[in-house]
Amino acid sequence: MFVLTMKSYFVSVSAPVFTGLWLALLSTASLAEAHFPRPAELQPDIDFWVRVYTEVDTRSGFIHDADQVTVVYETLPLKGDYHGDRKAMRAARSRYAKILRRLARDRNNLSAEEQRVLDLWGPATGNKRLLEAARSVRFQRGQSDRFRRGLARSGQWNTYIDSVLSERELPWELAILPHVESSFNPSAYSRVGAAGIWQFTRSTGRRYLTVDYVVDERMDPFAATVAAAQLLEHNYQLTGTWPLALTAYNHGASSMRRATRQLGTTDIARIVRNYKGRAFGFASRNFYVSFLAALEVSSDPERYFGVVDLASPVQYAEVEMPAYVPVGAFARAFDVAPDFLRPHNRALLEPIWRGKKRVPKGFTLRVPRDAVNGEPDVLLAAIPEELRFEEQTPDIFHTVVRGDTVSEIAHRYGHSIRDIVAMNGLNRRYQIRIGQVLRLPQEGEPQLASASTPPVRLVKVSTAGAQGELADAETPAADTGAAQAEQTVLGSMAGDQPVAEIQLLADPSDYTVASNHTIEVQASETLGHYAEWLDLRASHLRRINGRRYGRPVVIGQRLKLDFSHVAPEEFERRRIAYQKNLQQSFFMGWHIRSTRRHLVAEGDSLWELTHKKYRIPLWLLRQYNPDLDPDRLRPGMEIVVPELAEV
């Protein structure tokens, strides 16, 4: 099957016209204010981020207070030397912490520098607050050069993003979000694996996109834009306001719903100032105000940067692959180099471009229209039949044994370390464990083993796996139990939040333990699960909850738990690991394509809706209707149903 579409995704505009477009949009200020209010108490924070985006570049930054960001102690220049710059940052933070502790003890006989710091806070500031400030001195790197480059890059996708938002009737201001997330850098890849201009984590991305080690649509600005619109719309449906929906993009819908319940308000200013969630740190508290700052700067770029030349528009011929085809064969048929195609098809990953995997059947390749010499269907037909395959290039699996290292395995099979790391999602230390099964490309056979080389087990398959971060060190295989393996996955930090929470950002379910040691029962959980995660017997949990044997737990009810053997934090970690694995396994095979509204009819039940009518997991339906009481399903009620598409 061949599909050719001609799309002018982009509009070529000069900076003055660009500014005029934004000013025209800002003429609907009342509507914008309704969607994205600018509370007076948050204006100083917005002003701080405007300074970050326009006043200082990445070769310098502000030493400031993390809680009261308007207190800026100095602008610290950097030299571009990683270790030297980090040392300078630490020294500056230490210097101001020392001054603040001195001011908290005694304000007599101050030096000029000490007096300057005190003046920044004001003489009425109490000693307790100054001691707190000594613990919250922070460095914020400047972003003006990145922001300016982001403005120029945004010209490639502005028109397309606007069309997607308009089609879904979402606020146009959301098009600014990639400035905050990635500076519109399509190659952006964070230290926790968030990728592309919209910075999707792998688990959230898989809800809407194909994400494996062959294709990663998070890197495709077009596909990722549609996914971002879906996620933002979902967040809005769950939280009820756009400031909360935006903050949920960074912090998770469940956390924002928890904040509104605890504080009894949806007022973003009160939440930013008063919410004390465990993971609600600097990045989350500043996400909305930094978005408003980016909106302000983008609305009048000439004021801050002068003339900004936007990236040139591109018109694409889009060619749907009729079979699994090597990218080299496609490039030869269209008389272009593979490297020419690469920046226009960012979803295709390294194994494709290195010739170790084929472009998947059904994948749509983009070719700049002015590079297509002839009719695309004729060019496509020129690909020899012997280079059209019905299956993907199969993989080999290697079972890790004692003494194995990633580099040794790569050498043995004739592959690069980079390939093995990417195909198996290994962490930065290349950690592997005995019994772990590693995926390898098919080409290459193991070298003859020496007497000291342990045997290997090979299995040929043709399924896809997950892409992971590239590492910079490696560790020999060692015996690790399940609990330790989970720590490897969940133990690192990203911004303010544990990776466990970040990987469930799109899940609004509450997996936390309340202060009275109770939890809310979620779908796919049983009393046996809770007992296992608590290192207790299920009979003990039944007894403290007054439950008879054989009576199942009910979704949405609260249960009291016993944390005498396992701390609440460890219980949450184990619970989230279970839910993460459950959801990741499901989204390896399915995408959320869209949503629909269902009017509950007489005789409807959640079991009927999930198992027969829509054939979706109950936990997924609950995620789109977290306030739905399964015992109170009544005719005439409206529920949101996610519609799925097979990967």
Give the per-residue pLDDT at 461. Answer: 31
* Residue 42 near residue 323 (C-beta atoms within 8 A): no
* Residue 292 to residue 599: CA distance in whole angstroms: 37
* Residue 407 to residue 420: CA distance in whole angstroms: 9
Whether the per-residue pLDDT at 459 is higher than 90: the answer is no
Of all residues in the chain, the percent with pLDDT exceeding 70 is 85
Q: Which of 114, 167, 181, 602 is catalytic?
A: 181
Whether the per-residue pLDDT at 486 is higher than 70: the answer is no
Whether the per-residue pLDDT at 448 is higher than 90: the answer is no
Give the per-residue pLDDT at 502. Answer: 52
Q: For residue 159, how many other CB atoms are within 10 A of its CB? A: 17
Of all residues in the chain, the percent with pLDDT exceeding 90 is 71
Whether the per-residue pLDDT at 191 is higher than 90: the answer is no
Comparing 32 with 207, which gets the higher pLDDT?
A: 207
Render pLDDT for 346-386 as a digit per residue (tens, 0 to 9). Answer: 999 998 998 989 999 999 999 999 999 999 999 999 999 99
* Residue 351 near residue 419 (C-beta atoms within 8 A): yes
Q: Which two tokens stand for residue 449?
A: 């083993």
* Residue 4 near residue 367 (C-beta atoms within 8 A): no
Cα separation values, 634 from 604, 605, 622, 639, Å = 8, 9, 16, 11
The structure tokens 């005498």 sit at 564
Cα separation values, 607 from 221, 551, 611, Å = 38, 18, 6
Inter-helix orientation angle 82-105/112-121, to 10°: 80
Q: Which two tokens stand for residue 622?
A: 């609950």
* Residue 130 to residue 99: CA distance in whole angstroms: 10
Q: What is the mean pLDDT of residues 500-518?
A: 82
pLDDT confidence tier of residue 455, bands split at 50, 70 and 90: very low
Rg (CA), the chain: 27
- HSE-CB at 603 with a 13 A cutoff on CA atoms is 2
* Residue 352 to residue 467: CA distance in whole angstroms: 13
Q: Which two tokens stand for residue 148?
A: 């300016």
Give the per-residue pLDDT at 32. Answer: 60
Whether the per-residue pLDDT at 102 is higher than 90: the answer is yes
Cα separation values, 61 from 79, 132, 282, 378, Å = 12, 22, 16, 55
Whether the per-residue pLDDT at 27 is higher than 80: the answer is no
Render pLDDT for 147-164 as a digit per residue (tens, 0 to 9). Answer: 999 999 999 999 999 999
Give the per-residue pLDDT at 621. Answer: 94
* Residue 557 near residue 547 (C-beta atoms within 8 A): no
Q: By three-state DSSP, how is residue 120 classified?
A: helix
pLDDT confidence tier of residue 47, bands split at 50, 70 and 90: very high
pLDDT confidence tier of residue 84, bands split at 50, 70 and 90: very high
* Residue 362 to residue 123: CA distance in whole angstroms: 68
Whether the per-residue pLDDT at 504 is higher than 90: the answer is no
Inter-helix orientation angle 287-299/144-154, to 10°: 60
Whether the per-residue pLDDT at 467 is higher than 70: the answer is no
- What average pLDDT does the structure give for the chain? 86
Does 181 participate in catalysis according to the annotation? yes
Q: Which two tokens stand for residue 291?
A: 């978005």
Render pLDDT for 570-591 as a digit per residue (tens, 0 to 9). Answer: 999 999 999 998 998 899 899 9
Give the per-residue pLDDT at 31. Answer: 53
pLDDT confidence tier of residue 17, bands split at 50, 70 and 90: very low
Render pLDDT for 254-303 as a digit per residue (tens, 0 to 9). Answer: 999 999 999 999 999 999 999 998 889 999 999 999 999 999 999 999 99
* Residue 521 near residue 557 (C-beta atoms within 8 A): yes
pLDDT confidence tier of residue 30, bands split at 50, 70 and 90: low
Q: What residues are paired with 640 via a beta bridge?
A: 597
Comparing 491 with 456, which gets the higher pLDDT?
A: 456
Give the per-residue pLDDT at 177. Answer: 98
* Residue 535 near residue 571 (C-beta atoms within 8 A): no
pLDDT confidence tier of residue 245, bands split at 50, 70 and 90: very high
Strands 458-461 and 493-494: unpaired
Give the per-residue pLDDT at 167. Answer: 97
- Look at residues 532, 527, 554, 555 and name the one whose alpha carbon lies nearest to residue 542: 527
Render pLDDT for 543-556 as a digit per residue (tens, 0 to 9). Answer: 999 998 888 898 98
